[in-house]
Structure 1
């Protein structure tokens, strides 16, 4: 596992390519690693793979507030119950290393408790909100003491550019991301967003974007929910999800293809201040639209400049009101 992690880091973050082509041995190692985590939990198991088991158990850990030691003990018990050829990992540490290898981590960005700003860029070292004066750190409600080092509110951002690079690094996925370019409806019926007026409008307005079918077209969706299922609690969590419409219809809306980008959580919903929390995502989307990013395409075995556009948002009316300010 450490070797796979090192190879992944080298593949994506070092510029040691020759004429845009990364080392073939590195690419092969990454694809082998992807196949490894997609192997069944044990020989003959059809319901769970190594990766889906990890995700299910981590979800159980979070839902039931298991401690790290309790989670490790549970893995040991399950390992003893399963056949000897099981791919179940033995500790929380080893499961986290898999997510790190796939760059599935996230950035913690401190936020103003009153949703005024994010403490990033010019405000990264500031300890009070420049707008409302609230402390960046948690304030003890009993004695009003500032607990320095404990943020009052945290935004979790899952960067999208590393994930796009990872998608194009897998040969099968890189090929599927071209599906839209050869499957446009010929009978006037709409079966996929490629048949929509919005898709055609983008092609006519920015013909250079259309020239490369590998350029990504996103849809954005968000809504709030109470994660504790307690009607007496006002606690709110807003996931912000991107849908990749380049993929064929049986894949683009599958849960495996939906791209979680932001988790906005707190004692109250962000309301019209949601634009404050969308800033990291918007910055990456602007960069992808204006400049593009260097990405290796494993299907065509070449490096190209990937661009992306946000086609539309999909929300109910209350969320639409917040998104539109």
Structure 2
């Protein structure tokens, strides 16, 4: 489909990602642990990152999906009940306080969700892998929780949970979200047959209380 993914090497102690200034390092500058296993070139730990901007562009390149992403503005019926995040005071507050963002109905408001899972289906194992998911709340409630529209943005490998070091893992995703919030990117809207400056914001996070404690340090 032309959508790439990145394999980013990670310090086994979760100190750093081997990217930017540490991209060529062979050991962690904080704990001195080797980047590799015993065999040179085999990373000790790898983070899977699926860049979100090309995937948002792909969504808007489909005229049907592009139209669905404006449901909150043109398709939502206002009946005075809280049936969708677009009915919430938080949504209205953003529209009022950030009119440059709120006036463009194609700008996305995203929910981020993460938690640990045992990918080996064994209750006796303490292995914990953390998928990081994004949900676009511009979509109607019948679609925003469908598998097709839930975006896997990151896969934090085990065997142990990242804990408070999850901020190191989330850095690539946060960088893309900051770009989408502060500057935006040019995206083609296939429904209206035009280019527009696409922006997005992190509207909320969804997790249990232990994961909330980890994410709150961000």
Q: Could you say what the CA RMSD is over the residues aligned between the two structures, in angstroms?
A: 1.1
* Unaligned segments of structure 1, at least 5 residues: 1-100, 139-145
Matches within 5 A, 1:104-115: 105-115=4-14
C-alpha displacement at 1:236, in angstroms?
1.2
1:158 equivalent in alignment to 2:54: no
Q: Which residue of 1 aligns with 2:145?
A: 253
1:286 equivalent in alignment to 2:148: no
Cα distance per residue 1:264-317 (max 9 Å; x no partner):
012211111111100110000000000101100001111111000001101111
Aligned length: 217
1:121 equivalent in alignment to 2:20: yes
In 2, the alpha carbon distance for the partners of 1:293 and 1:280 equals 17
C-alpha displacement at 1:184, in angstroms?
4.3
1:239 equivalent in alignment to 2:131: yes
Q: Which residue of 2 aligns with 1:214?
A: 106
Q: Which residue of 2 aligns with 1:169?
A: 61
Matches within 5 A, 1:4-153: 101-103=1-3, 105-138=4-37, 146-153=38-45
In 1, the alpha carbon distance for the partners of 2:146 and 2:166 equals 26
The structure having more radius of gyration, on CA atoms, is 1
C-alpha displacement at 1:235, in angstroms?
1.6
C-alpha displacement at 1:211, in angstroms?
1.2
- Correspondent of 2:157 among 265, 274, 287: 265
Q: Per the alignment, in what secondary structure is the counterpart of residue 128 of structure 1?
A: coil
C-alpha displacement at 1:102, in angstroms?
4.2
Higher helix residue share: 1
- Correspondent of 2:74 among 182, 200, 213: 182
Moved over 6 A (4+): none
In 2, the alpha carbon distance for the partners of 1:307 and 1:206 equals 12
TM-score normalised per structure 1: 0.65
* Unaligned segments of structure 2, at least 5 residues: none
Cα distance per residue 1:120-140 (max 9 Å; x no partner):
0111001111111111101xx
In 1, the alpha carbon distance for the partners of 2:178 and 2:50 equals 16
Q: Which residue of 2 aligns with 1:229?
A: 121
TM-score normalised per structure 2: 0.96
Q: Per the alignment, in what secondary structure is the counterpart of residue 92 of structure 2?
A: helix
CA contact (8 A) 1:184 1:195 kept: no
C-alpha displacement at 1:227, in angstroms?
0.8
Q: Which residue of 2 aligns with 1:311?
A: 203
In 2, the alpha carbon distance for the partners of 1:102 and 1:109 equals 19
CA contact (8 A) 1:185 1:195 kept: no
In 2, the alpha carbon distance for the partners of 1:295 and 1:187 equals 33
